[in-house]
Amino acid sequence: MRIIHTADWHLGRIFYGIHLTEDQAYVLEEFLDIVRDTKADVVIISGDIYDRAVPPQDAVSLLDDIISRLVKDIAVPVIMISGNHDSPERLNFGSKLFATSNLYIFGKFSPNFSPVTLEDKFGLVDIYPISYLEPSIVREKLNKEEILTHELAFKEILNNIHLNKSLDRRTILVAHATVLGGTTSDSERPLSIGGAETVDPSIFDGFNYVALGHLHKPQSVKKEYIRYAGSILKYSFSEVSHKKSVTFIEMNEKGGSFIEEIPLSPRHDVRIIKGKLEDILAGSELDANREDYIMVMLMDEHPVLNAMAKLRKVYPNTLHIERCQFMPSNSCINTYVEHQCLSEKEIFSSFFNQVTGKDMSIEEEKAFLQVLEKLRAKNREAS
Ligand SMILES: [Mn+2]
């Protein structure tokens, strides 16, 4: 069986004020070609179809167009689940009716764990789609008070599946989750506050392929067949090094899989350009992709006037500028990501060091912490 696994389309996403729907339409044309060229037997979309619960109209039209071309023109069954960005009820619209036309939508969690069964020349394949789940909803629907975490919710559901599944069939699980050991990026919204969202990959034992959504970098976790397809576009500057793709799986008679990443080519890449303003402006002449979505890390030691206006003349989609002279040790490499992990005290002491050329004394540190505590107290009262 040939499977195309994709996820995290985030239709209708806005990136630094730019509506990405046209970029998404562009890359989904390429996606349709891939589905056609690989002669896929099924397309699996593992959640985060839309970027938000009430998506913009053009995002809804885009999904309508792509799905109908998949199901009607290419005649490939489509199985999709909701992710944490989707509205379960809205995505679920029409699902019973659409299932009669080979479009299987699982928006709302339901305690009915029957699979979508497809057939190839070797026999039957059972595909178990689990819509995005909140532990509280699973707790209520299954009436099990002990379900407090994502992992416990999954374990309960998977137990039900394993109890009822046909042992002579190959099986695929479709889920939207944070699997322990996976690499995260900045464009994923946490599933829960406080870190009770990760699930151990060992809970997926017993399936031949696990089609995951949520993490935006294409990757396998622990075992090759436990896999995130990744998002179709880069949705944050922390993803500049990602190579976005869809996953092609060819499953054999025994359920073993040949797995290949088929790269996607965006209309605009997301890039970081680093250097002094004059060098960047001069270098842009040789840059064939000036329309890309750009973050600039300015290395100038002295203030520069109207940097954004100057940059946008050559790179019209400059979206953000970072000033490196205010950063620790004047080095910008990876600090964009790293400085977000620093504490307020660390950020302030590096700023202090940059401005004064020396480290804060114990007295100064104390004074800073007092001011910080006052500010926090004020914020607490305000909220
Ligand atoms: Mn996502």
Residues contacting residue 207 through CB under 8 Å, at least 6 positions apart: 128, 171, 172, 173, 225
**Do both 42 and 81 map to the same domain?**
yes
**Closest to 239 measured CA to CA, from 210, 259, 219:** 219
Strand 103-106 with 78-81, pairing: parallel
**Do both 8 and 119 map to the same domain?**
yes
* CA distance between the termini of the chain: 54
Residues 51-105 have pLDDT tens digits of 999 999 999 999 999 999 999 999 999 999 999 999 999 999 999 999 999 999 9
Whole-number Å distance, alpha carbon 215 to ligand 1 midpoint, is 6
**Do both 306 and 255 map to the same domain?**
no
In whole angstroms, give the CA distance from residue 105 to residue 321. 41
**Do both 181 and 98 map to the same domain?**
yes
Whole-number Å distance, alpha carbon 14 to ligand 1 midpoint, is 13
Q: Which domain holds residue 351?
A: 342-383
- The number of domains in the chain is 3
Whole-number Å distance, alpha carbon 214 to ligand 1 midpoint, is 4
What are the 10-residue block averages of pLDDT along the chain, 383 residues in total?
Answer: 98 96 98 98 98 96 98 98 96 96 95 93 97 91 92 95 94 96 89 76 96 97 97 96 97 96 97 96 94 96 92 97 68 52 78 87 88 80 67
Q: Which CATH number characterizes residue 199's domain?
A: 3.60.21.10
Strand 116-120 with 123-129, pairing: antiparallel
Residues 269-303 have pLDDT tens digits of 999 999 999 999 999 999 999 999 999 999 998 88
Q: What residue ranges in the chain does DSSP mark as E strands? A: 2-6, 14-15, 18-19, 42-46, 78-81, 103-106, 116-120, 123-129, 170-176, 178-179, 198-199, 209-213, 219-221, 223-228, 245-251, 257-263, 270-275, 293-298, 318-323
**Closest to 318 measured CA to CA, from 270, 374, 256:** 270
**Closest to 62 measured CA to CA, from 27, 90, 25:** 25
Predicted confidence at residue 267, as pLDDT, reads: 97
**Do both 276 and 373 map to the same domain?**
no
Whole-number Å distance, alpha carbon 213 to ligand 1 midpoint, is 7
**Do both 355 and 323 map to the same domain?**
no
Predicted confidence at residue 328, as pLDDT, reads: 54
SS3 232: coil
SS3 130: coil
Q: Which two tokens stand for residue 54?
A: 């009430």
**Do both 56 and 69 map to the same domain?**
yes
Torsion over CA: 262, 265, 270, 273 (sign): positive
Whole-number Å distance, alpha carbon 50 to ligand 1 midpoint, is 9
**Do both 6 and 45 map to the same domain?**
yes
**Do both 117 and 200 map to the same domain?**
yes
Whole-number Å distance, alpha carbon 182 to ligand 1 midpoint, is 14
Q: Where are the alpha helices (DSSP H) in 277-361?
A: 277-283, 307-314, 335-338, 344-356
In whole angstroms, give the CA distance from residue 62 to residue 67. 8
